Chains A and B, each alone.
Chain A
Amino acid sequence: MINFVFNKLLQMPFNTEGDISVLNEFNSVIKIQSVLFYPSSGADINDLFYVNSKRIEEINECSPNIFVHTDFMFRRDYGLPTFDQLLEYPNFYISKFKYLNDDKSINIYKLRRPNSNEIKWLIFFRGYYNEDIIKELIINKIKIPVVYAICDGITHGMGACNEKNIPTILYPLLASDLGIKFIITEQGWDTVKKRLEDASYTLGEDEFRLWLKNILLISDNLFIKHLLNLSNEDLRNILRRELGAINEKSLNEDGKLRCYHVTYTKEMKLKKMNL
């Protein structure tokens, strides 16, 4: 059996299909090339086209070659176009390998753009929670310098099908665990600040406290432990200070289209972590 880097996610019977050399090659590149993580990605593959240093100069050497997508709610019979067909447009040359069963699949794609020798990798975890994948990334010491988090389905949009979820607005707290340097998101500081100002409760507990506890389930993070010893008010105050200090800029306000999303192009921000 191939020692797939995400073997722990294959606890149930899976069929395989495709080119085994794609899996072998993926295993060798995942730990050495720059990675982007897109939680709750759905059918969106805009990151493949827009997140690079030509478009977004700031990300520079973090320009990703490997795109890790995950979506719990993406059904196998999602309809047309299928995920594979999405990638055929506009004309990627594709080789692929898949683990699949009725509930989940892990699709690995090796992609080459037309008129280019540039290779990109995409791994799509269908039927897995974002947090399952983050945990595996941490265990495998795979760094994700760029997070692309548009409409995470937790604090923005539909979804939230996991009681143990971690909204992407709190991913800056995972920056040291995951080596996050940039986050591209439609949820800027204004959104986060408002959320911090609204006292809301989930399962009878302050929602931020609950989310921090969820972080502890995947990361032994001392700062989170410290926060959880504080009152709800102090906890929110510190989050306000920490998250508010993150350098943030709008991506598409200078008349150039640097990053595109069918719905949230105007709101897109680039957050630079203060590591």
Chain B
Amino acid sequence: MTLTNTFIIRYNNLPEVNRYYYSHGRKKEWYLRKENLIQYLKSGDNEIDFLWHSVVFNLFSKTLYSYSPENYKYCNDFIHWKYGHHNVLYKVYFGKFKNFIDDNCSTVPQELREIFYNYSKNKVDAYCKYFLGLIGLFADECCEINCINLINKAKESAFFKEEFSDLENDLSNIFLRNLYYQILQ
């Protein structure tokens, strides 16, 4: 199961940023302060997985909203119906994917940074599979999403590319390359 009730509850509880924007309550943003981030990283591999799953889930929401808006509502409604949590897709990360994975996670002490980087690099493949698994789950359960079409559409957009770093050793860049590779496969 790609998406679990436990994950959704934890994701919903990620601390939110309050800032004014013109969204009529349709957007909530989460953010982790440095001390929170350190706590997660100190808590072991499962927590690193949770952080990745959260930022990938955020990417899924943003991708759907921008490139498959006709399905964004169906997926959001489905989560409410199946898991009992309302408007989960409205919640996205405060910044871009790379801001969390590459920038924020490099502000932590050297030792934790290395643990995070090395562990993540080994698991990027699994995180890409998680992203594709989310699309697959919703495609099976509630709407017609063509995974390849969705990613190809996103690939053409500068807005999507900006989510990821241009530096090839950055984790977000590795994630993106791995994602494209998996789509090709």
**Residues of chain A at the chain B interface (Cβ within 8 Å):** 46, 49, 80-81, 85, 89-91, 113-116, 252, 256-257, 260, 262, 265
Please give the distance in Å from B167's CB to the nearest CB on chain A: 33
Query: In the complex, A260→B74 CA distance in Å?
Result: 9
| Interface SS majority for chain B | helix
Task: Name which of B45-53, B63-71, B114-122, B129-137 contacts chain A.
Answer: B63-71
Which residues 114-153 of B have a CB within 8 angstroms of A? 141-142
Taking residues whose C-beta sits less than 8 angstroms from the other chain, chain B's interface range is 10 to 19
Say whether, besides A80-B24, A90-B65, A256-B141, A265 and B81 are in contact (CB < 8 Å). Answer: yes
If A80-B24, A115-B68, A260-B81 touch, does A90 touch B142 (CB 8 Å cutoff)? no
Of B24, B69, B78, which one neighbours A257 at CB under 8 angstroms?
Answer: B78
**Of B26, B69, B72, B77, which is within 8 A of A260 by CB?**
B77
Q: Across the interface, do A262 and B72 meet the contact criterion of CB distance under 8 Å?
A: no
Residue pair A90, B24 in contact (C-beta under 8 Å): no
CA distance A257 to B143 in the complex (A): 9
A173 to chain B, nearest CB (A): 32
Q: Are A114 and B69 in contact (CB under 8 A)?
A: yes
B81 x A252 contact (CB < 8 A): yes
Which residues of the other chain, B, contact A114 by a CB distance below 8 angstroms?
Answer: 69-70
Known: A46-B77, A80-B24, A81-B25. 5 other contacts (CB 8 A): A81-B24, A90-B69, A90-B70, A90-B73, A265-B81
CB distance from B77 to the nearest CB of A (A): 4
B25 smallest CB distance to A (angstroms): 8
Q: Is the CB of B70 within 8 A of A116?
A: yes
Is B82 part of the binding interface, using a Cβ–Cβ cutoff of 8 Å?
yes
The reply to whether B77 and A257 form a contact with Cβ atoms under 8 Å apart is yes
Could you tell me the distance between the alpha carbons of A115 and B65 in the complex, rounded to whole angstroms? 13
6 contacts between A and B (CB under 8 A): A91-B69, A114-B69, A252-B81, A257-B142, A260-B77, A262-B86
**A54's closest neighbor in chain B, by CB?**
B144
Q: Across the interface, name the chain B residue whose C-beta is closest to A116.
A: B70
Across the two chains, which residue of chain B brings its CB closest to A90?
A: B69
Which residues of A sit under 8 angstroms from B69, Cβ to Cβ?
90-91, 114-115
Whole-angstrom distance between the Cβ of B54 and the nearest chain A Cβ: 22
Q: Which residues of B contact A262 (CB under 8 A)?
A: 80, 86
Which residues of the other chain, A, contact B73 by a CB distance below 8 angstroms?
49, 89-90
Q: Tell me the bound Cα distance from A139 to B70 in angstroms.
A: 36
A257 adjacent to B26 (CB under 8 Å): no
Report the separation of the CA atoms of residues A262 and B74 in the bound assembly, to the nearest whole angstrom.
12
CB contacts (< 8 Å) of B25 on chain A: these are 80-81
CA distance A146 to B176 in the complex (A): 46
Give the contacts of B138-185 with A (CB-CB under 8 A). Answer: 141-142
Complex: A228 Cα to B26 Cα, angstroms: 50
Q: Which residue of B lies closest to A258 (CB)?
A: B142
Q: How far is the CA of A252 from the CA of B142 in the complex (A)?
A: 12
Cβ-defined contact, A113 with B24, below 8 A = no
How long is the Cα–Cα vector from A16 to B14 in the complex, in angstroms?
A: 47
A89, B74: Cα distance in complex, Å = 12
Contact A257 B141, CB 8 Å, known A80-B24, A90-B65, A262-B86: yes
B3-26 CB mask vs A (1 if < 8 Å, else 0) is 000000000000000000000111
Find out whether the CB atom of A49 lies under 8 angstroms from the CB atom of B74: yes
Return chain B residues, CB-CB under 8 Å to A81: 24-25
Give chain A nearest CB distance to B21 CB in angstroms.
13
Please name the residue on chain A nearest to B65 by beta carbon: A90
Residues of A within 8 Å of B81, CB to CB, are 252, 257, 260, 265
B149: nearest residue on chain A (CB-CB)?
Answer: A115
